[in-house]
Structure 1
Amino acid sequence: MRSTDGIRRRAGHLVLSVLPMLVAACGDPQPAAKQGVSGAGISMMVLVRPADDPCGAAPATFALRDAAGVGWWMEGKRWCRAANGAQPAQAWVSDAADPRAKRLVIEGQRLSLLAPEVRLRPVADAPAPAPFARCGPDARSRVFAAENRLRDPGDLACGRTFAGPGFRLTTAGFAGTGSTMPALVTTPAKPAMGTIVYLFGGPYENLPAGLVARSTSNHLLAQWAGRAAIVIPAYLGIDRIRTGAGDATRARAEVDALLTALERRGPVCVIGFSLGGPIAAASVAGHPEARFLLAAPLATSPARFVARAIAQGRPLRPITLSSPAPDGQVLTLRSDKAYLDYFAGSENRDLAALLGPGRHPNLRVAYARGDIPVLRRDLAPVAPMLAADAIHELPAAIGHSIETPFGASAYRPLIDDFLADCLGSPD
């Protein structure tokens, strides 16, 4: 039976085709391969430490540049970074054993210097910290366990716990709106300075294999999990599960309930990436004590964003969704219909409309120039609502994702400044 509404049903199944631009623009590409060659050029990763000897004079031109636009070159066995303003030149040398080692990642002509992957080792299952509880056998928890993993399938099932440097990570659930929302929750060994809530992008984009392979996620674990609790909720639209048209509205409600519960424990700092931007935006006015950073957010309306993407001629690709209903029906929609179905009821609301009138001094926005979900003109109605320096534009070369090595390198200083301001100084 043919359907004209973008939904096809067959034998209790629906088949979903989603524009890959909806994934690329509001999700994350897979991390760069280690020690390999990609179609776009060399892609490699090497562990390096500060070299004992400085590099010589910088060349006239550079084959490699980092996210700050600073040139790099190789000199013998050393990786050299040119001086930049008050920052002196740097020299790095390969050394996987040094405790100061960082990951040097090269993708084509782009170079990124990142923290090493955080080591997480499985430990005995632990009770979830308040306000979370153990997630159960419901459909969302099952889908989360099936689609998300650190290393191996099933290792993020309900209650699974890992120990990291100065913190513990647990898979838990939050039942603030009736339906249990799965979440990854870290607990620092020392008293927490507050809570960092990281809202991933989407829709329907689950964590790739290897949480720490996501560069911004790994940075938060490496630099902040020992000081603050980190919560990564799988709000509706993250995993490949659909409860019905307008899941974005339900996602906003469960995220808002989570923030209300977390605020009782101290400062709350929300980072909303891509789709996480319009999900978080609806809570900004109602949580004036919380602080929000929207990174590469969907700032235009979903309907306008889809029109822009279609105008670029992006092709279609199929994605299969599950239903939480007892019959376990598999659901699918077609491309733009799937995206607009997720936002049904708010498909014409842009970031300014979601924020609502008035001033929002607790909000910052960062984006890369030319990123179609958040063009400069999309933020024109938002700018008067914010502080004078609350919007930061990055170069177009950064791209959309804050989870790629290059994107994470560009957003890292903005994220760290935001969290330092939000959490305050440690006692």
Structure 2
Amino acid sequence: MSGTKKDWTTPADIREQVQRLWDRGTLLNALVDDRSLFPLRLTHSRPDSREISDRFIEVRDWIARLKAAEGPYRIVSRTLNHRVHGSDSIPYEIWIDSADNALGLIGKRRAAAAFVDMIELTRRFEPALLPWISKRPLRALELATVWPLMLNIVEWLRQHPRPAVYLRQIDIAGVHTKFIERHRGVLSELFDLTLPKSSIDEHATGTTNFCRRYGFRDKALRVRFRILDSAYSILPYCTDQEITLTHTDFARLHLPVETVFVTENEINFLVLPPIPRAMVIFGAGYGFSNLAVVNWLQDKKLYYWGDIDTHGFAILNQFRQYFPTATSFLMDRETLLAHRQYWEREPCPETTALRRLTDPEQSLFNDLRQNNLGEQIRLEQEKIGYSMLLDALRKDPALSASS
């Protein structure tokens, strides 16, 4: 099938090709590595001999438009001899001869100049970061206006390894706590490239562990809990045994409990009934680092109570990373089916495989993520009837509850 007029390369197509080089970071990457992409031949679609014969006027107009925009790009033409129209000069190749021409074509000269300034500044003060700029040139360019501050922070931390101060105490002109928090993802990458391994806690990963990873002081993690045994009191003259401690103080406790519940719902945390030798901890979604350091929890009978949806099972799966013997509580098929009237739609279900579920849990999780019971089903734990909660406590041989 012969081509159509719109198949032939236009000036807009040429700009689009060069724009793609920018969007992929190719043009900027070459500036970091000090290598030239140019002269660069662009892909080019042109009329064939039959189209030249059948659509000569359209071809002539196409050539005129290409040549009218010539300047940033260069056209190499070839002469074709046609039995009807005689000799015709047809654009055969299109070239960009320099980076400046390419940048001018897409209006990026000023941005590229700012990027070159970043490269020179980095090469002078932190050459170890040049590979990062080369790998993530567009992200680096977004930071052009604050890049000098980023380099100052890197230098400061190298001079003060694992400083044991709060971010607020970093004394650099123009740098404040919110600035560091806003850029901690990038700063983590820069620190990892420039700091010695002795200055990095490799076990602390993710932006939430930024302070711990690089030795800054951070707000203490806290644990909120209730003692469910009415016969035991931590604080004298205190009838409400709801307490919040730092995770380090919580880890030092020696409590006469055998059973520990962890729940993600505050209402359920508050309404769990009295249970001998038991306590409940208010959970924190996917974050269990505050409990991971509490060694005495490993010796307790642990129950995790979350929503019956894919994310509830994903959190249970993560909880078992720290506490492998934990038992799920009211997260079973019977409970879900008994509360059909309270089913809701779960936004953005979890679909990845979970490796730490029991067979019944895995079966229910698979049904939820595959929508076998309905579309994106979710049962929030606070919708479970209170009588079912009491029944579950009574039926568990490890528990003895009173309402």
The reply to whether TM is greater than 0.5 is: no
Tell which has more relative contact order, 1 or 2 (C-alpha 8 A, sep 6+).
1
Structure richer in strand, relative to its length = 1
Q: TM-score of the superposition, structure 1-length normalised?
A: 0.29
Q: TM-score of the superposition, structure 2-length normalised?
A: 0.30
